[in-house]
Structure 1
């Protein structure tokens, strides 16, 4: 009788470990995957921000070279120099100082990134 009870306990323990171990491994794999995706998304947003800043700088200099004045507004760059960016992700604060002084440009990330996290 004791032998049967002992076998039942061993069977119950093996069933529990048979469920817990794969579950823990699965949770671990999902956590690693989520961390990787979050890091890639963050890196992508940083690259987009750098590219946007470079594009704005290039357009400002090109406008000054061709027209002899710095662009009066960000909309001017969008209309005449084909500047395009995602306004749901980035806010660009463009402040012209004078027609012959380089404008002040600030780029701020807004909204949510690709992984659903706040910046």
Structure 2
């Protein structure tokens, strides 16, 4: 008789605990993927600068524009989401690169 009373409240209690763990896991995974999938402007800027340095090392001059980097070095530019500022002074001077996120 005592065992039946324990099983009556243990099963719903375990079910509630499992549901809580599942909900917390789904929320945590959602936050993780939301934060890790977005490329941040700082990381995009670093990728562009690394491609510029690679271009200088291989060709002896910095790329004339971002389109050149996109065509020859595989940089993918998302013009809908980001604004890219690329200023080059001379072919032997590191270009000034800025990446800004566009407003919604």
Give TM class, smaller chain: 0.5 to 0.7
Residue 102 of structure 1 corresponds to 94
Normalized against structure 2, the TM-score is what? 0.61
Which 4+ runs in 1 deviate beyond 4 A?
43-47
Alpha-carbon distance in 2 for matches of 1:106, 1:95? 9
- Alignment counterpart, residue 57 of structure 1, candidates 49, 70, 83: 49
State the SS of the aligned residue for 2:94: coil
1:88 to 80, 83, 86: 80
Does the CA-based 8 Å contact 1:94-1:106 persist in structure 2? yes
The number of residues matched between the two structures is 76
**Which of the pair has the greater relative contact order for Cα pairs under 8 Å at 6+ separation?**
2
Structure label with greater radius of gyration: 1
TM-score (norm 1): 0.54
Deviations 1:69-107 (A, max 9, x none): 011111110111111032111010111110110111111
